[in-house]
Amino acid sequence: MAEIVYMPKLSDTMTEGVVAAWNKKVGEEVKEGEILAEIETDKATMEFESFYDGVLLHIGVETGSAAPVNSVLAVIGAKDEDIAEILKNAGTDDSEANASVPQEESKAEPAVAPANPTPSPTPVATPASKPEKGPSSNDKIFASPLAKKLASEKGIDLNTLQGSGDNGRIIKRDIDHYIPFTPAAPAAQFSAAPAGTESYRDETVSQMRKTIARRLADSKFTAPHFYLTLDIDMDNAISARKAMNAMEGVKVSFNDMVVKSVAHSLKKNPNVNSAWMGDFIRRNDHVHIGVAVAVEDGLLVPVVKFADTKGLMQISAEVKDFAQKAKDKKLQPSDWEGNTFTISNLGMFGIESFTAIVNPPDSCILAIGGIKQVPVVKDGALVPGNVMKVTLSCDHRVVDGATGAAFLQDFKQFLENPVSMLL
């Protein structure tokens, strides 16, 4: 009997998913454990495995399209099995299901001429013909998010393509089969826009960016923020890091030292390691530190769990692994869930100081600026020193000024005396 595959909930905050790519076509055999599709969530693009053996009979969400969690993603069953009743009961129009089969078959065999005398859209521009504009006559391109991404990476102008997807939508296959068009020299002179011409591009908002916008807007406009800024003398931290990295097989970053210092400071200041839950405040005994990582579509916050129990080397290895997984879009839900505190470090980008928005459900987030060499007074003398500026953003519903200040003082003490982190 045919089985319905529903849009999975791949993260705790996911409400809908976008199909970035289908790895199977209608009519193809599917085995349990095979990658059925790639699903773009609010956190990352993740591979989705099939739970069933059989033949892919129906695709409910086309590539580049979004659908709510638990909506019909696909149907898998026996070859030529009638699925009309199943789709009807699932709330999917049967006519659409029946139409999907020949559509997919025609895509799988582009060499076979269709019965319809109307010529099908040409997926690529060829040197033998002048490139045509896409289905949209203005600057808004009708293309899937994955196609836009691939086109951007390959330097392909989507205006030179006509899509082979539904309603002329440009999809991944059109990018893969693209043949560059090289115009003649005279034509190139007229292709350039005159100086002073206004232009713009409308880009589809990714699921990740939608979630970032919603969560941080809720945090900023709901949680009463206040900010505490402190200068930290990093001379000893620089010396300690240099000594550690001189050891064979050791590679510790300043960010690793920050994570370790934060973990110790949270144990001494448990009220900062808390969350506003509406009717109550949750005081966390465990320390799970989220480390913000910039990715192409926005921001991910993988979590170093039980950071207070881990050494610098272990923290360093985990953070590096998370950063690579984030860039490769291979983070799993367990990697980004459960944070009790968040760190955002922009020091490596030359940012001296900034304020960050609290990352719910945390009550605080620590913004780390870059280390800057400035004149400082030591023992009554003006000497060069290395100073790092940090700013603690606090939810005033949970953390008061004195509480946040005490946390920062402990954090400062640990970084200015790194050996104390080993005690």
pLDDT digits (tens, 9 = 90+) for 61-120: 999 888 888 889 999 988 888 888 888 887 655 444 444 444 444 344 444 444 444 444
Q: When comparing pLDDT for 188 and 76, which is higher?
A: 76
Dihedral, CA of residue 126, residue 128, residue 130 and residue 136, to nearest 10: -30
* CATH code linked to domain 3-108: 2.40.50.100
Beta carbons within 10 angstroms of residue 355's beta carbon? 13
Q: Give the pair of three-digit tokens for residue 285.
A: 């005994």
76, 54 Cβ separation under 8 angstroms:
yes
Strands 45-49 and 66-68: unpaired
User: Is the pTM here over 0.75, yes or no?
Assistant: no
Q: Is 400 tagged catalytic?
A: yes
Please identify which of the residues 177, 362, 396, 410 carries the catalytic annotation: 396
φ and ψ of 256, to 5 deg:
-60, -40
**Residue 261 has what pLDDT?**
97
Overall average pLDDT of the 345-369 stretch: 93
Cα–Cα distance measured from residue 345 to residue 240, given in angstroms and rounded to the nearest whole number: 20
Question: Tokens 């009309």 belong to which residue?
Answer: 84
Please identify which of the residues 93, 139, 202, 400 carries the catalytic annotation: 400
> DSSP 3-state assignment of 62?
coil
Q: Is 395 tagged catalytic?
A: no
pLDDT digits (tens, 9 = 90+) for 284-340: 999 999 998 877 767 788 999 999 999 999 999 999 999 888 777 777 878 888 999
Pick the range with the lowest mean pLDDT from 111-120, 365-374, 389-398: 111-120
Q: Which residues in 280-297 are b (16+ Cβ under 10 Å) and which e? A: eeeebeebbbbbbbebeb
Ordered alpha helix ranges (H), 47-91: 84-89
> DSSP 3-state assignment of 309?
helix
Ordered alpha helix ranges (H), 269-362: 312-327, 333-336
Pick the range with the lowest mean pLDDT from 98-112, 189-203, 229-243, 246-260: 98-112
Domains of the chain by residue range = 3-108, 121-204, 207-422
Through-space distance between the first and last CA atoms of the chain, rounded to whole angstroms: 63
What homologous superfamily does CATH list for 207-422?
Chloramphenicol acetyltransferase-like domain (3.30.559.10)
263 pLDDT more than 70: yes
* CATH code linked to domain 121-204: 4.10.320.10
pLDDT digits (tens, 9 = 90+) for 201-234: 888 777 777 777 887 788 888 889 999 999 999 9
